[in-house]
Amino acid sequence: MADIIKLLPDHVANQIAAGEVVQRPASVVKELLENAIDAGATRIKLIVKGGGKILIQVVDNGVGMSTTDARLSFERHATSKIQSAEDLFNLNTKGFRGEALASIAAIAHVELQTKTEDEEVGTAIHIEGSTIISQEVVVTPKGTSIAVKHLFFNIPARRNFLKSDSVELRHITDEFHRVSLAHPAVAFHYYNNGNELFNLPSSNFRHRIVNIFGKKTNEKLVPVEEETQVVTISGFITKPEFAKKSRGEQYFFVNNRFVKSPYLHHAVLAAFEGLIKPGAHPGYFLTLAVDPASIDINIHPTKTEIKFDDEQTLYAILRSTIKHSLGQFNVAPTLDFEHDNNLETPYDYRNKSAVIPKVEVDASFNPFADEKLDVSRSRQNSGVPNYKKQSSQSWEGLYVENTPEVSGMPNFDGLSFESDVSTGSIFEDEKGNLDAAAITFQLRRKYIITTIKSGMVVIDQGRAHQRVLYERFLRSVTLNEGVSQQLLFPIQLSFSSSEIAILEEIKDNLSTMGFVFGEISTAMVEINGVPPLVAEAEVVSIFDELMADCQQNVGGDGFSQADVLSKALCKSLAVKTGDVLDVISQAALVNDLFACTESILSPFNKPIYITITENDIDKKFI
């Protein structure tokens, strides 16, 4: 039998490795930013074009590389971070595999310019698909500049799997947030298609959070601080009243590295138990400093997953630390059995003496005195109210006809009232049939039961309303027939810069649905009108859910955006389980449902109703 196992060529091996390391343009941004931080940069510039498909460039002022290091940096498993296997358990840097630049160079055009502080000139290398095109001497400032162009140019299948430019840009922005939050002392500049998105100066952790997510975030933060022998926890959590329905602002940093840990996330949720509504997610920005030997970060190519030696202890410490912070800053209710709230004195009255109330008594007051005694004048002068009982002697005069008071009133005996127009019996049959068909019943405040010829139909009221609203919103977008209700006072909503970018993208479709926008700044949006179905009190929650859905699902074309927006709005505005509907509302919902083009499935592909025939009922009695 012939030998069938062969060694892969280098370019094929590099492309396979690139498939693990580089999944989308955001993966390239993450690797290049981490390399710049490992190089000791204090100022990093990120330039993106075309959602990262056309250009990703990172410029830093780090230590730079020599000519030999610049050439070796594109070889597989070439790294300056570790020398032996023991170094894997004492890592203090971001990159250590030595595959990032080699993987990126295998699937893109890479231009590198670098220079150390001691050298007078630098080195420029141009690589296309792992092939070195040129290497020359250039004049460049100290540091490194890496430009990645035409990502996946030699793998069309991978390029076709990329999303639209706006979606890829959001993923890049998410990676930028993670790296910049982990290193607040480093100044960052972020440009997209020539426009500056972020200009983050060197600052502390709190200022970095506020600079990224807006000034309104400052009032939401609660400090967290705890130092133990196992872990040192610092950072911020958001107040319970600012919890969102989406998992947006949730960041864990272990030794200045962003990680995803569902186990630690559950510890945070356990600390907020009883303070937030079910289904809401609190925001947090927590940094954990642990012994590098007690963690393993080499379990995933993207290095976002981490393994702890003692997760149970970390869970307990993190949960108790957050609970302590919530109680320390009076965010969570506390019980103090030695403190009496009744003894608290407001600050304005602390230095004032108590005023003894005066009691005045009218000694001449006699409720049994004769009614002819006129004592009301003396009581008015003394300020005491008059408690004199009204006389009832002449009550018979109220019922005597032709008295002076009654005789002056107009006589209504000659008035006649216009009766309703009788339409006869022409609609009697139709009215009877309508009443019989419109008989509905609400079961458990969740289902609507109505009858048909063969039996009965059980309708999920929430899903039915979602289908009705979904087609209504989708029709208003496609036909541009949106109706708006103007607000007396505009509503101002605060968003982060990334959410403002999403809103700018979907603004046109929202306008066709009935939303009227006023001024849109870098952190504030003014809403002057809403669709008639939207209550003013629900605008904030609707836009929170809208941002959460759009961050994951909005595509490039207008139809997909309209579909996602219609689904998001119908999910927010539809009736929920537990809502009580009267008979008229039940009948209207049933009629609107079966007038839809698709009445079987909800917009989320779930069945709306089931049919129970008379035979099915008869079988239960056999």
The single-letter DSSP state of residue 244 is: B
Q: What percent of the chain has pLDDT over 90?
A: 33
Write down the pLDDT at residue 423: 44
Write down the pLDDT at residue 425: 38
Residue 429 domain flag: no
**pLDDT band at 368, cuts 50/70/90?**
confident
| Helix or strand (DSSP H, E) at 494 | strand 485-494
The single-letter DSSP state of residue 460 is: E
Residue 262 domain flag: yes
Residue 122 domain flag: yes
Whole-angstrom CA distances from 472 to 8, 388, 503, 596 are 56, 67, 21, 9
Residues 292 and 196 in one domain: no
**pLDDT band at 607, cuts 50/70/90?**
very high
Mean pLDDT of 13-30: 78
89-103, 252-266, 353-367, 533-547: which is most confident: 252-266
Residues 38 and 142 in one domain: yes
Mean pLDDT of 200-217: 90
Q: Angle 123-128-132 (CA atoms, 0-180°, nearest 5)? A: 50
Residue 103 domain flag: yes
Residues 248 and 178 in one domain: no
Residue 352 domain flag: no
Residues 252 and 172 in one domain: no
Write down the pLDDT at residue 231: 92
Where does a domain end: 267, 302, 328?
328
Q: Is 306 exposed, middle or buried (0-12, 13-18, 19+ CB in 10 A)?
A: buried
pLDDT value at 431 more than 50: no
Residue 354 domain flag: no
Mean pLDDT of 610-616: 91
Mean pLDDT of 127-137: 91
For the stretch 218-247, pLDDT in tens is 888 999 999 999 899 999 999 988 888 777
Strands (E), 297-368: 307-308
Q: What is the pTM of this model?
A: 0.69
- Retrieve residue 247's tokens: 């998992």
At 228, the amino acid letter reads: T
CATH number of domain containing 123: 3.30.565.10
Q: What is the mean pLDDT of the chain?
A: 80
Whole-angstrom CA distances from 313 to 6, 224, 229, 282, 284 are 48, 18, 11, 22, 20
**pLDDT band at 382, cuts 50/70/90?**
low
Greater pLDDT, 18 or 247: 247
Where does a domain end: 141, 168, 200?
200
Residue 222 domain flag: yes
At 332, the amino acid letter reads: A
506 in Cβ contact with 561 (< 8 Å): yes
For the stretch 146-178, pLDDT in tens is 999 999 888 888 888 888 888 888 889 999 999
240 in Cβ contact with 322 (< 8 Å): no
pLDDT value at 264 more than 50: yes
CATH number of domain containing 271: 3.30.230.10
Where does a domain end: 296, 328, 360?
328
Residues 266 and 174 in one domain: no
- Retrieve residue 187's tokens: 């100044």
- Retrieve residue 479's tokens: 């036909």
Q: How far is CA 156 from the centre of its chain?
A: 34
The SS3 of residue 112 is strand
- Retrieve residue 536's tokens: 């003013």
Residues 163 and 18 in one domain: yes
pLDDT value at 303 more than 70: no
For the stretch 495-526, pLDDT in tens is 777 778 788 888 888 888 888 988 888 778 89
Q: What percent of the chain has pLDDT over 70?
A: 77
What is the domain extent for residue 41? Answer: 10-200
Mean pLDDT of 311-330: 89
Residues 92 and 220 in one domain: no
Greater pLDDT, 392 or 126: 126
Residues 193 and 211 in one domain: no
**pLDDT band at 592, cuts 50/70/90?**
very high
Length of the chain: 622
Q: Which residues of 281-303 are buried (b: 16+ CB within 10 A; e: fewer)?
A: bbbbbbbbebebeebebeeebeb
Residues 459 and 600 in one domain: yes
Residues 209 and 190 in one domain: no
Residue 604 domain flag: yes
**pLDDT band at 280, cuts 50/70/90?**
confident
Greater pLDDT, 309 or 470: 470
Write down the pLDDT at residue 376: 53
CATH number of domain containing 600: 3.30.1370.100
Structural domains in the chain (count): 3
Write down the pLDDT at residue 429: 39
Write down the pLDDT at residue 432: 35
Residues 138 and 255 in one domain: no
Residues 494 and 604 in one domain: yes
The SS3 of residue 131 is strand
For the stretch 402-417, pLDDT in tens is 545 444 555 555 555 5
